[in-house]
């Protein structure tokens, strides 16, 4: 389109100016893509870190409850197991489809938290363990909100406008070159690679859905064994 408008007035000066403009627009375009790409990578890393930390807290709390009183804390440990199951089988799919946390997981977390608060330590050992468990369970709530907020972030519409405009403007500035197959092929490579980067950005911006979903690997591993026995997976 640009060639059709300006081809009759093309000269050497336009070619030099076009090259200069292409370099500057391309640099700005690359900078925008790099910044947004880095932001989405950080977003994915934050979710992964939060999920890993969540798995550690679940495991620590579960086994601290057993250290506190094996028989007397069975109900609370069951709630922790139900919480883990709900996160794996309800909350993660819910974050992918509805961008929302699981109410079942919240209920299990609330029951476990209330149970720990109601514990009455009989000695210094139990007093220390209770303080640790209260702190650990409270932190779980913040990590869940962090996972939810990261999934809701997304990519701003203005970025999409800037990205498409950058491809269009950079390509348009090459109108001074003849539309030979070799030149068209090179421009196609540029457009294809830019599109690929934009695709990756949008993929990372939706961290709970394919093609690049964050998996709760830590929680899956901690769910094995005793925790799984107290709250078996749904049929």
Neighbours of 12 (CB within 10 A): 8
Q: Work out the mean pLDDT of the chain and round it to a whole number.
A: 89
Residue 93 belongs to a domain: yes
Residue 54 belongs to a domain: yes
Report the number of distinct structural domains present in the chain.
1
Residue 94 belongs to a domain: yes
pLDDT > 60? residue 232: yes
Range 66-70 average pLDDT: 94
Residue 235 belongs to a domain: no
Q: Give the pLDDT score at 176.
A: 79
Per-residue pLDDT reduced to its tens digit, 3-54: 777 765 555 667 777 788 888 888 888 898 998 899 889 889 989 999 999 9
Give the domain extent around 12. Answer: 2-230
DSSP code of residue 232: P
Q: Give the pLDDT score at 8.
A: 55
Per-residue pLDDT reduced to its tens digit, 110-161: 999 999 999 999 999 999 999 999 999 999 999 999 999 887 877 778 888 8
Residue 88 belongs to a domain: yes
Per-residue pLDDT reduced to its tens digit, 79-104: 999 999 999 999 999 999 988 999 99
């Amino acid at each position: 389109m640009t060639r059709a408008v300006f081809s009759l007035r093309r000269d050497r000066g336009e070619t030099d100016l076009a090259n200069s403009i292409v370099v500057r627009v391309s640099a700005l375009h690359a900078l925008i893509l790099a910044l947004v790409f880095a932001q989405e990578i950080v977003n994915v890393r934050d979710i992964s870190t939060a999920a890993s930390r969540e798995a550690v807290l679940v495991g620590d709390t579960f086994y601290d409850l057993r250290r506190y009183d094996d028989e007397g804390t069975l109900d609370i440990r069951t709630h922790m197991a139900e919480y883990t199951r709900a996160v794996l089988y309800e909350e993660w799919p819910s974050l992918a489809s509805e961008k929302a946390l699981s109410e079942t997981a919240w209920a299990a977390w609330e029951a476990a938290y209330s149970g720990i608060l109601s514990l009455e330590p009989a000695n210094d050992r139990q007093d220390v363990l209770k303080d640790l468990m209260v702190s650990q369970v409270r932190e779980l709530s913040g990590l869940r909100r962090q996972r939810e907020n990261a999934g809701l972030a997304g990519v701003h519409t203005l970025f999409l406008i800037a990205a498409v405009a950058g491809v269009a403007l950079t390509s348009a500035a090459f109108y001074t070159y003849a539309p030979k197959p070799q030149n068209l092929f090179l421009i196609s490579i540029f457009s294809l690679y830019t599109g690929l980067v934009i695709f990756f950005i949008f993929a990372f911006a939706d961290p709970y859905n394919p093609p690049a979903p964050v998996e709760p690997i830590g929680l899956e591993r901690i769910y094995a064994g005793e925790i799984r026995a107290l709250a078996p997976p749904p049929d």
